[in-house]
Amino acid sequence: MNRLAVEFQGVSKLYGQAAAVDDVSFTIEPGTLVTLLGPSGCGKTTTLRLLAGLEPASRGRILIGGRDVTALSAAERNVSMVFQSYALFPHMNVRENACYGLRAGGMRRAEAEAVAREKLRQVGLAGFEERLPGQLSGGQQQRVAVARAIVLEPEVLLFDEPLSNLDAKLRRHVRDEIRALQQTLKLTVVYVTHDQQEALAVSDRVIVMNAGRIAQDGSPRELYEQPVSRFVADFIGDANLMPVTVCGIDDATASVSLGGVTLSLPRRGLADGTAELAVRPQALRLAHGTTGPVLPGHIRKVCYLGSHMEYEVVLDGIAGAFFISDPDVVRPLVEGDAAGILVDAAAVALVPPE
Amino acid sequence: MKRPERLWLALAAAALVVLPWYGLEDTVDAVLALRPEAMPALGQAAFGGCFWLLPLLLAPALAGWGVARGRPRLLVAGGVIGIAWLALEGLAIIHRGWGWDFLSVLGPAPTQPALGWGALLFALSCAMLVAIGLARLGRCRGDVFVVAAILLTGLSILLFIGLPLLSVLASAVRDDAGHTDVSQFLHKLTDGSIWGFGCLHGGGACGSAWNSLAMALLVGVTSTALGLAFALVAVRTRVRMKSLLGLLSILPVITPPFVIGLALIILFGHAGMATVFLADHFDIPRSRWIYGLPGIAIAQTLAFTPIAYLVMAGVLQAVSPSMEEAAQTLRAGPWRTFRTVTWPLIRPGIANAFLIGFIESMADFGNPLMLGGNYTVLSTDIFFAVVGATHDQGRAAVLAIVLLVFTLSAFMAQRLWQEGRSFTSVSGKGDAGLHPPLPGGLKALCAAAVLPWIVLTVVVYGIILGGGFVVDFGRDNSLTLKYFLTAFSIEHGVGGWFLSGSAWSSFITTLELALVAMPFTAGLGLLTAWLLARQDFAGKGLFEFGTMMSFAIPGTVIGIAYILAFNVPPLELTGTGIILVLAFVFRNMPVGIRAGLASLSQLDRSLDEASLTLGARSFRTVRLVVLPIIRPAVITAMVYAFVRAVTAVSAVIFLTTAQYQLATVYIVGRADVGEDGMALVYSAALIVVMVAALGIIVLLVGRQRIGRRGLAAGNMGVGVA
Ligand SMILES: Nc1ncnc2c1ncn2[C@@H]1O[C@H](COP(=O)(O)OP(=O)(O)O)[C@@H](O)[C@H]1O
Ligand SMILES: [Mg+2]
């Protein structure tokens, strides 16, 4: 039996007239980690809170484990949440925090403490049981919050930007820990972040949101390689975006011409006419004298970044500029130099125009 | 409790068949004596001829059916019918026949006494059944505690604030015989004693409304100006007086309001110390200048400046130093910085402090009572309309309406003012930096204002605390324990030790009632604050308005409203201790609301939410998470509820009886007949008791601080979207 862990059916959340979440539908398979990704204010937190039951939905249905929970309160839904601020109860020690959900469910103290101790051990906090939250570091607090949430073995575990209060070094470590924990315990996790790299790194699937709606829903690879819109291409992986004209199509491919170079790309349902070209930074190289189809251009800006150079190159004859990184830091080009650009069609995608 | 509806259903039934239906006092005696009114409702209907009580049975019947069939709608219906019928028959049939004239077509009137414990429990159970039913229907996400809290606080506010105010309105438009008479109302409303301008064109006095207004404006200005001067000295100079000011700022809380007036009379009255001194040594003729506007204004300024100080100190501290530093780096000198940056930023705070002073002055009763002389103000006029020779309740009601309109408008103005102008300079980011020094001239001005004030305060409190221990302050300064012993002696008599002092009875009654009211006041206030801060529900705007009303109602208005509303059945409470407790609870509820709102706004909402997502319902969340963290607010609310009940005078002066004499009312009586020594010694005793109470908060809250270290961690990093 493979019931869906979560199902949103046309869910909206209105604050007054404004829709923070606008007709959102998606499903989540059990045992997967799905990320809600998008810029600040796009409705990720609201979606998560709708799922947790902290906000009532204005429209639509929410199902968890196949059961309609739209009308149920947070206390009645089998989900747990790790808050951005962790929301550890400051007057309870680590053990009491971890036991809280079990005790609320009516479990006897001794039993609850045994379960909590085991989960605290799993997150690497054995020995910290008697500390107050105020006596822990940020990373440890975060783990307490995770332990407190997973003791209930919820059907769905929610994370709201769990790394935003950690310093940059710790982020990566905690991110990997969360992913490892999710995979060992086979948890269904919904994870909110505004950091695309974090999203690509941890997720089985990513739901990109924009202005309260879903912009794209797919695996990290799909999002990166086949963005369905300019917004997604721009948001994920900092693509260079450039308007182009589709000059010929057949079944699977479309030809576009860019400054004299013709590229043959997967068509992705596009028709003749204008389109947008999303060019990943790694698709571009400086020609350094090689022959072949190169795009001619000029260096506009030079930036020394230690391990490599970054150039902004304006193309001759086309309005537009590319950012290109180049490993040759010994003999850098200077502003005004002519530069040819090699394009690797494998890292270029066509995107429908806005 | 898995099935609370069964419990409340059983209670509703028990209320009808077990508890005495009528009469709130001496219930046990009444039951033991088998007095007829002590029968339960069912008995009244069967043997007492009160057939109109029978429909009440519908409530448990419907609700029981609903419980059996699992149909929450029937629970709601049963509860609503129960309450509605209780109110209807209670108002329709009163102690002297029909409650409404048009019912006389039904024939000769039956009568019934006031409602008792059975009726009370019945109403409560019905409300709970409605709440449970609504929750089962999915209201407030099925949370019984939330629905019940909304319903019960809403109903109690309606019953003990809304209904009394309605009675004031009703009695204002009724003549003595109880008939509606609008022309008489208009006549009273436009009466010369309220709105006259006699004082302007010579001969005669101005109306009390103008007097109140003039006084409130004056006191608003003086207390704000002094409060600002104090705050500037305390916050912006290096003068070390913060602890002194801290002490002075709690004085008005623990001082019965009229005592300052009394001290001023001892100082500046016709035979006062200072008056006599000036007359003897400087030939300044004695006069009665202290009676009237000057005296009241001085007394109120003394009383309310500390409040203005607290407001202004908060506002001055909230001005980010970096704003002023920015101005200085732009070549602005101290004066220019103050004038162009500091002053505009604190202006909203000044308006706020002014309005608070205005409202307090309007509502003040004790000082005008002591010092008014011929200068009549609304709050005391209400009192004299009731207890005076004319005994005109209609007039009292009209005056109460005028006073209420003044305070309510000022209160609304203050709220709007506050909402529109938040302090944008409080950024929450690290606001390091130093405030610039005060301009020299301003500093001198502040010092000139502050020093005499401190001297006066010290002298006044010296008189209050010491005046009871000398024979006759100013004239015969030999020490005596005479007054203290008269008030508080304990003697050994035939039956052992007994409290023979004349003050003991009122002293003990006051402490008892204040202690009884304390948990209810704090509980209701905090619960209301929690609902306002944390719950969204239909009708919240109305709910908020109702609670806000309680902030603006002057004590005198509460007092008159309570006697008008609860003097006759169905709710006959006058003369009982219950009405005093109710007056304390609903008069001081704002203390709990303020404390609760302030500390809930500091408490990160995600803590509540974390508890909810962990499967705890809101009751458990409140009990295990919210209450422990806001414990300081709970303690503060309790102690202030207690202290304000002890010092209350205006709300209770109508409500006390020989049996329930209160300390403040007793003191006013002593002062009225010229027994200043007694009044002072008693006031000093009250102040000592309340200082002890405040000391207890400081101890308890201070200890709590240690445990709060973690709170910051829980709050950390909020605000990133
Ligand atoms: N309680 C609220 N009242 C009104 N608007 C809100 C409320 N909560 C969120 N919003 C709005 O909804 C939108 C989505 O917010 P949110 O879900 O917090 O975004 P994010 O994706 O950054 O987590 C924002 O525009 C925000 O201003
Ligand atoms: Mg967010």
Full DSSP string of B456-492: HHHHHHHHHHHGGGEEETTTEEEE--HHHHHHH-EEE
The atom number, within ligand 1, closest to the CA of A46 reads 17
- Bridge partners, residue B206, by sequence: B197
Q: Given the CA of residue A47, which atom of ligand 1 is nearest to it? A: 17
CA of A15 to the centre of ligand 1 (A): 8
pLDDT tens column, B256-265: 878 888 888 8
Ligand 1, closest atom to CA A49? Answer: 17
- Contact between chains at A84 and B717 (C-beta distance less than 8 A): yes
Q: Please give the Cα distance from B714 to B708 (Å, whole number).
A: 10
pLDDT given for residue B148 in this prediction: 94
How do the residues of chain A divide into helix, strand and coil, expressed in percent and rounded to 5?
Answer: 25, 35, 40
Residue numbers of the domain that contains B670: 482-701
**Beta carbons of B716 and A83 less than 8 Å apart:** no
Kindly indicate the confidence band of residue B423, based on its pLDDT and cuts at 50, 70 and 90: very low
The reported pLDDT for the residue numbered B715 is 31
pTM, to two decimals: 0.83
Cα–Cα distance measured from residue B84 to residue A161, given in angstroms and rounded to the nearest whole number: 51
Ligand 2 mean position to A13 CA, how many Å?
A: 15
Tell me the best of A45, A54, A164 to mutate to test the pocket of ligand 1, counting ligand atoms within 8 Å of each CB and taking the most.
A45
Lowest model confidence (mean pLDDT) among A311-320, B209-218, B317-326: B317-326
The number of the ligand nearest the C-alpha atom of A21 reads 1
A69 chain-B contacts, CB cut-off 8 A: none
**Mean pLDDT score, B522-551:** 88
Closest CB from B618, B624, B717 relative to A85? B717
Q: Is A254 left (phi over 0), alpha (psi -120 to 50) or beta?
A: beta
Check CB contact under 8 Å for B616 and A152. Answer: no
Would the pLDDT of B429 be above 60? no
pLDDT for A290 equals: 65
CB neighbour list of residue B4: distance below 8 Å, 6 or more residues apart: B128, B132, B144
pLDDT tens digits, one per residue of B622-646: 989 898 888 888 888 888 889 889 9
Arithmetic mean of pLDDT, A329-349 = 83
d(C-alpha A91, C-alpha B624), whole Å: 10
Model pLDDT, residue B384: 87
Probe site for chain A from B613, B703, B718 (most A CB atoms < 10 A): B613
For residue B472, tell me if it sits in a domain. Answer: no
The mean pLDDT value for B72-76 works out to 91
Per the CB < 8 A criterion, the answer to whether A274 and A246 are in contact is: yes
The pLDDT confidence band at residue A2, using thresholds 50, 70 and 90, is low
| Least trusted range by pLDDT, from A17-21, B245-249, B601-605 | B245-249
A15 lines ligand 1 (CB under 6 A): yes
Condensed to tens digits (0 to 9), the pLDDT of residues A156-166 reads: 999 999 888 88
CB contact under 8 A, B609 and A87: yes
The environment of the single-atom ion ligand 2, i.e. residues with CB closer than 5 A, is A 45; B 721
Helix, strand or coil, per DSSP, at residue B99: coil
- Tell me what pLDDT residue A9 has: 95
- Contact (CB<8Å) B613/A74: yes
The answer as to whether A233 is a domain residue is: no
Rounded to the nearest angstrom, the distance between the alpha carbon of A9 and the centre of ligand 2 is: 21
- The model's pLDDT over B270-315, given as tens digits with 9 standing for 90+, comes to 777 788 788 888 877 777 788 888 899 999 998 888 888 888 888 8
Which among B607, B620, B720 has the least Cβ separation from residue A161?
Answer: B720
For residue B337, report the phi and psi dihedrals to the nearest 5 degrees: -60, -45
- Flag if B606 and A83 touch (Cβ within 8 Å): yes
- What pLDDT score was predicted for residue A33? 95
Which among A71, A77, A81 has CB closest to B610? Answer: A81
What's the CA gap between A352 and A277, in Å, rounded?
Answer: 9
- Asked whether the beta carbons of residue A80 and residue B142 sit closer than 8 angstroms, the reply is no
Give domain status of residue A230, yes or no: no
User: Do A263 and A161 lie in a common domain?
Assistant: no
Contact between A326 and A305 under an 8 Å Cβ cutoff? The reply is no
How close B593 gets to chain A, by Cα (Å)?
23
Average pLDDT of the residues in A255-261: 77
Last residue within a domain, chosen from A204, A225, A246: A225
B605 C-alpha to ligand 1 centroid (Å): 15
pLDDT of residue B702: 56
Q: Which residue has the tokens 């004319």?
A: B390
Quick check: B718 pLDDT over 50? no
Q: Kind of pairing, strands A156-160 and A79-82? A: parallel
Residues A86, A207: one domain?
yes
Residue B342 lies inside a defined structural domain of this protein? no
Whether B245 shows a pLDDT value over 80: the answer reads: no
- For the residues of B260-317, what is the DSSP string, one character each? HHHHHHHHHSTT-HHHHHHHHHH-PPP--TTSSHHHHHHHHHHHHHHHHHHHHHHHHH
**How large is the average pLDDT for residues B426-455?**
71
**Min CA distance, B82 vs chain A (Å)?**
29
Bigger pLDDT: B701 vs B209: B209
Closest ligand 1 atom, residue A16 Cα: 4
**A241-254 average pLDDT score:** 80
Q: Which of B143, B612, B714 sits opposite A133 (nearest CB)?
A: B714
| Contact residues, chain B, for A141 at CB < 8 Å | 713
Residue B717 has pLDDT above 50, yes or no: no
Using the mean position of ligand 2's atoms as its centre, give its distance from the Cα of residue B717 in Å. 12
Give me the pLDDT at residue B11, please: 93
Q: Which range marks the domain in which residue A247 is found? A: 238-351
- Could you tell me the pLDDT band of residue A213, with boundaries at 50, 70 and 90? very high
Residue B428 is predicted with a pLDDT of: 38
CATH code for the domain in which residue A311 is found:
2.40.50.140
- Is B169 within the bounds of a domain? no
Q: What is the CATH number of the domain that holds B489?
A: 1.10.3720.10
Whether residue B708 and residue A90 make contact (CB cut-off 8 A), yes or no, is yes
Instruction: Please report, rounded to a whole number, the percentage of residues in chain B having pLDDT higher than 70.
Output: 92
Q: What is the interface pTM, i.e. ipTM, of the complex?
A: 0.77
Whether residue A1 lies inside any domain: the answer is: no
CA of A165 to the centre of ligand 2 (A): 13
Given A197, A225, A253, the domain boundary residue is: A225
Q: Is the pLDDT of residue B425 over 70?
A: no
For residue A282, being part of any structural domain is answered with yes
Region B61-71: what's the mean pLDDT?
89
Confidence of residue B615 (pLDDT cuts 50, 70, 90): confident
Do A151 and A255 share a structural domain?
A: no
Q: Is A49 in the pocket of ligand 1 (CB under 6 A)?
A: no
pLDDT of residue B713: 32
Whether ligand 1 lies within 6 angstroms of the CB of A45 is answered as yes
CB pairs under 8 A between A and B: 128
pLDDT band at B652 (very low <50, low <70, confident <90, very high): confident
Count: domains in chain A: 2
- pLDDT band for position B604 (cuts 50, 70, 90): confident
- pLDDT tens track for A279-299: 887 788 887 766 667 788 888
The DSSP annotation for A127-144 comes to T-TT--GGGS-HHHHHHH
| Top-ranked range on mean pLDDT: pick from B19-23, B130-134, B699-703 | B130-134
Of ligand 1's listed atoms, the one at least distance from the Cα of A13 is 12
Q: Which of B157-171, B431-445, B594-608 is predicted with the least confidence, judged by mean pLDDT?
A: B431-445
Confidence of residue A21 (pLDDT cuts 50, 70, 90): very high
> At B430, is the pLDDT very low, low, confident or very high (cuts 50, 70, 90)?
very low
Nearest C-alpha of chain A: how many angstroms from B136? 11
What was the pLDDT predicted at B232?
86
Q: Give the model's pLDDT for residue B432.
A: 52
Mean pLDDT of B154-170: 90
| Same domain for A253 and A183 | no
CA-CA distance, B248 to B235, in Å (whole number)? 15
Q: Indicate which atom in ligand 1 lies nearest the CA of residue A40.
A: 22
Q: Look at A76 and B604 and tell me if their CB atoms are within 8 Å.
A: no
A221 three-state secondary structure: helix
Looking at chain A, which residue has its C-alpha nearest residue B2? A106
Number of independent structural domains in chain B: 2
pLDDT at A86 over 90: no
**Is B55 within the bounds of a domain?**
yes
pLDDT greater than 80 at residue B569: no
Distance A45 CA to ligand 2 centre (A): 4
Contacts of A84 in chain B (CB under 8 A): 606, 717-718, 720
* A35 lies in the same domain as A119: yes
Which pLDDT band, with edges at 50, 70 and 90, does B447 fall under? confident
Q: Are residues A190 and A277 in the same domain?
A: no
State mean pLDDT over A221-241: 85
List % helix, strand, coil for chain B (3-state, nearest 5).
70, 5, 25
Find out whether the beta carbon of A36 lies less than 6 Å from any atom of ligand 1: no
Percent of chain B's residues with pLDDT above 90: 19
pLDDT attached to residue B712: 34
What was the pLDDT predicted at B530? 93
Lowest mean pLDDT of A339-343, B77-81, B314-318, B707-711, name the range: B707-711
Question: Residue B625's closest chain A neighbor by CA?
Answer: A89
Residues of A in CB contact (< 8 Å) with B are: 40-41, 45, 49, 52-54, 56, 71-77, 79-81, 83-91, 100-101, 104-105, 132-136, 138, 141, 148-149, 152, 158, 161, 164-165
Is residue B121 pLDDT above 80, yes or no? yes
Res B720: pLDDT: 24
What average pLDDT does the segment A245-255 reach? 80
What gap in Å lies between CA B101 and CA B293, rounded to an integer? 46
- The mean predicted confidence, pLDDT, of chain A is 87
Query: CATH number, domain at A51?
Result: 3.40.50.300
Give the residue, by CA position, lying nearest to ligand 1 atom 10.
A20
Alpha-helical (H) ranges within chain A are 44-52, 94-104, 109-122, 138-150, 168-185, 196-202, 220-225, 230-235
DSSP bridge partners of A149: none
The mean per-residue pLDDT over the stretch A74-78 comes to: 86
Residue B173 is assigned to a structural domain of this protein: no
Q: Is A20 a pocket residue for ligand 1 (Cβ < 6 Å)? A: yes
